[in-house]
Amino acid sequence: MAHRTAPLLLSATLLVFGFTVRDGHAQGSEAGQGVQRFMEYCAGCHGADAKGGDKAPPLISAAGPLNRSDSELFRIVREGTNGGMPPFAQIGDVNIRAVVQFLRKLENITASKSAAAEVAVTGDADLGRA
């Protein structure tokens, strides 16, 4: 059950974060722009939760691209890859930096949730039922 609720919880967090940033005082900031640009340019292939889609691999995973430096991620988004990712230089450097910043925040949220999910649960199930 926890395996099914984690993606839903992450998606809900993304939506709340996106609406909060959009509607709050951070409107126009790189964080708000990052959410908007990710949804506009990246989510169609990489998924709204960045965990992969039909067209592209996950961005949030142990061996994923987020293990790269910000400058490497910037270059990949700007120039594309030989592996099939098209270049997105047309969205501009400010928007590319905002997407990279958003991915870092998403990475931190995911890492926090993973750490919380790995906490061992102790107790007596029979006693709990009683």
Q: What is the pLDDT of residues 89-102, one digit of tens each?
A: 999 999 999 999 99
Dihedral of CA 101/117/9/20: which sign? negative
Nearest to 73 by CA among 43, 97, 48: 97
pLDDT recorded at residue 33: 84
Scanning the structure block, which residue is given the tokens 């928007």? 95
pLDDT recorded at residue 106: 82
Nearest to 113 by CA among 18, 17, 6, 4: 6
- Which amino acid type is present at position 102? F
More confident residue, 17 or 130: 130
H or E stretch including 90? none
Tokens, residue 35: 């959410």
CB 35 within 8 A of CB 17: yes
Query: Is residue 112 over pLDDT 70?
Result: no
Domains of the chain, start order: 2-116 (1.10.760.10)
Q: Helix (H, G, I), strand (E, B), or coil: what is residue 59?
A: coil
State the number of CA atoms in the 13 A half-sphere of 66 facing the CB.
20
